[in-house]
Amino acid sequence: MQKQQGFTLIELVVVIIILGILAVTAAPKFINLQADARKSTVEGAKAALQGANSLVYSKAALAGLENASGQTVTIKTDVTVTTDFGYLAGNATVTNIVADLEDIMEMNFETLTDDTTTVSNEDWGVRAVSATSFRIVPRGRTADTTEANACHLQYTAATSTALPIYSVVTTGC
């Protein structure tokens, strides 16, 4: 009588099929490409805003306006932005914030009136948070701050004693 030493071909095929099914169902939980892309996009917006704000500060410093609040700085011949201590102001209306961001970042922004409005018309949305800060939100997201939905860049304007603050929150991306 011959002794069996291993798996039969059928058993091997069944095990491979079961492992394949498990891999297909588990892979999306480990490889979340869409969320990673959204997180990277928000980080990229932060870098773009920091770079643009550096240029705004340079223009303000050249004009001698880096130590005052509520100043207007000319960026190009027909483009002016409101600044606080040389950096982009956060204390204007959301309409003014959108106009300033579009001018310095050369991107299109949608005005968000509340935290539940979804950005749908432009690639980015802007929501005024307080007199000195605003949120930039990617398309398809809201300005909501709950952990499950938070996917934004929050900008807080400079003060006489502090530089502007760029806070990225991607827990809900």
How many angstroms separate the CA atoms of 107 and 49, rounded?
11
Count structural domains, the chain.
Answer: 1
> Tens digit of pLDDT for each residue in 32-52?
778 888 899 999 999 999 999
8 within domain boundaries: no
In a domain, 7, yes or no: no
Range of the domain at 91: 40-169
Specify the pLDDT at position 27.
77
Question: Cβ distance 38 to 171 under 8 Å?
Answer: no
8 Å CB contact between 112 and 93: no
**Does 113 fall in a domain?**
yes
Nearest Cα neighbor of 155 from 80, 79, 121, 104 is 104
Please report the pLDDT score of residue 92 as a whole number. Answer: 67
Phi, psi of 76 (to 5 degrees): -125, 180
Q: Reply yes or no on whether the pLDDT at 25 is more than 70.
A: yes
Copy the structure tokens of residue 53: 């704000």
- pLDDT number for residue 1: 59
pLDDT tens for each residue of 52-107: 999 999 999 999 988 988 889 988 878 888 899 999 988 768 888 888 888 888 88
CB 156, CB 164: distance < 8 Å? yes
- For residue 85, being part of any structural domain is answered with yes
Within a domain: residue 30?
no
pTM here? Answer: 0.78
